[in-house]
Structure 1
Amino acid sequence: MQTQSLWEHTLTFFPQFLAALRERVAPDSTVAVIGASDGKFVLPLAAAGYRVVAIERDPVALHGGDVHLPGDSQARALGLIDRLKLEELHERVEVVEGDFLEDAPLGRHCSAVWTSCSWHYSANHHRPLAEFVDRMQRLVRPGGVFGAEFMMPVERRHHMTEHYTSPERLLPHFLGEWEVLLTLRTNEFTERAHVGRPNDHTHRMGLLMAARTSTFTDHF
């Protein structure tokens, strides 16, 4: 791709999710991306032949704008919408601008849903983590795939909120109608400074992927 995401070089388990899609989901199926940002995952999914519902609340991530870079510099960043047009992928992506916890398109079912390190942000702490997970699950049709990578607790303050979690703590949300396909975790690692984090910092990440095996009643 000619354009590049601001998050291009951050660590991700996305290749494992993409491999699960290729094994379990038909080409041209619809994949929802929660917290789509500027398209780090949306564009590769669309380029791979999937149709994508991209849900994002940040206007700069969607429409572009000025961002502060490490080293106290500033740059003009492309947003998701312009990146899609430049890569000629816009016809394969439906962009939903809104808060997933308030405006999630719960009336539709997709073949897969993916989120990357989104629910640990403080803007999502006013609602229980279980609600975020449940809303994602409700988007997945029978036979579909759920994928989430997330921050695990490292600092003391992380242990004070459930939104920094682990695969083990998430497993109770995937009983009954779900088959857990894969859980992974990293050791602590140092990530280079990036947008929003002006200094090098320590992370630990986890992954949970599951397949939905039966139907359920949507009570929203």
Structure 2
Amino acid sequence: METQSLWEHTLTFFPQFLASVTEHAPDDATIAVVGASDGKFVLPLAAAGYRVLAIERDPFALHGGEVSLPGDITARAMGLVDRLKLEALYGRVQVLEEDFLQTGTRQAKCDAVWTSCSWHYSANHRRPLADFVSRMQSLVRPGGLFGAEFMMPTEQRHIGIEHYTSPEKLRRHFTDDWRVLLTLRTNEFIEPAHVGQLQDHTHRMGLLLATRTSQ
């Protein structure tokens, strides 16, 4: 691609999700990305031939602007909309500029839904994690795929925040008409400085993939 996401080099379980999409979803699947940011996951999905529903409320992520980078660098960052247009992928993506937790979406059900580390942002702590998970689940058609990677606790202050969860705790939300396909976790690791975190920092991440078995 001609452009890069600001988050291009951060650790992700997205390859596992994409492999599951290839296995479980049709070639012309519609995939929702909740917290689409500047398109780290949206653009690869669209380039692979999928239709994408990109849900994002942050004007900067959507339309770009000035950003501080590690090394005391200030740069102009490109947003999701301009990246899609430059890569000739805009026609494959429906961009919804809205707060997913506040309004949800009235779109038809999708073949898959994905989110990456969106739960731990403090702006989303005003609502229970169960609300976020159930809204995502409501987007998935029978036979469809749910994928989420998330931050796990690394500091004492995280322990009391349910949004820093674990694969075991998250499983509680996937009973009855759901079948968990895969859970993964990392040990603690040091991630190099990036936008929003201008110093090296410690993370621990988890993944859950599940498929909806019935209506």
TM-score interval w.r.t. the shorter chain? Answer: over 0.9
What does residue 76 of structure 2 align with?
Answer: 76
Distance 1:25 1:78 in 2: 30
What does residue 176 of structure 2 align with?
Answer: 176
What does residue 156 of structure 2 align with?
Answer: 156
What does residue 122 of structure 2 align with?
Answer: 122
* Count of aligned residue pairs for this structure pair: 215
Q: From the superposition, tell whether residues 79 and 107 of structure 1 become closer, same or farther in structure 2 (CA, over 3 Å).
A: closer
Q: Give the deviation of 1:108 after TM superposition.
A: 2.0
Distance 1:59 1:83 in 2: 14
Gaps of 5+ in 2: none
Distance 1:104 1:45 in 2: 22
Distance 1:143 1:108 in 2: 15
Q: Give the TM-score of the pair, scaled to structure 1.
A: 0.97
The one-letter amino acid paired with 1:146 is F
Q: Give the deviation of 1:106 after TM superposition.
A: 4.0
What does residue 96 of structure 1 align with?
Answer: 96
The one-letter amino acid paired with 1:83 is R
What does residue 218 of structure 1 align with?
Answer: none
Distance 1:41 1:181 in 2: 21
What does residue 64 of structure 2 align with?
Answer: 64
1:129-148 map, 5 Å:
129-148=129-148
Deviations 1:49-79 (A, max 9, x none): 1000000011011001001111222100000
User: Percent identity of the aligned residues?
Assistant: 73
1:208 to 2:208 alignment: yes
1:8-19 map, 5 Å:
8-19=8-19
Distance 1:48 1:142 in 2: 23
Distance 1:103 1:72 in 2: 37
Secondary structure of the corresponding residue to residue 168 of structure 1 = helix
1:6 to 2:10 alignment: no
Secondary structure of the corresponding residue to residue 36 of structure 1 = coil
Instruction: Say if 1:106 and 1:135, in contact at 8 Å, map to a contact too.
Output: no
Distance 1:157 1:61 in 2: 27
Gaps of 5+ in 1: 216-220
Secondary structure of the corresponding residue to residue 74 of structure 2 = strand
Distance 1:14 1:134 in 2: 21
Q: Give the TM-score of the pair, scaled to structure 2.
A: 0.99
Instruction: Say if 1:106 and 1:138, in contact at 8 Å, map to a contact too.
Output: no
Deviations 1:69-110 (A, max 9, x none): 112221000000000000000000000001110122144200
Q: Give the deviation of 1:41 after TM superposition.
A: 0.2
Distance 1:74 1:103 in 2: 34
Distance 1:81 1:148 in 2: 23
Instruction: Say if 1:186 and 1:206, in contact at 8 Å, map to a contact too.
Output: yes
Secondary structure of the corresponding residue to residue 195 of structure 1 = coil
What does residue 37 of structure 1 align with?
Answer: 37
What does residue 194 of structure 1 align with?
Answer: 194
Secondary structure of the corresponding residue to residue 46 of structure 1 = helix
What does residue 85 of structure 1 align with?
Answer: 85
Distance 1:71 1:136 in 2: 37
Secondary structure of the corresponding residue to residue 207 of structure 1 = strand
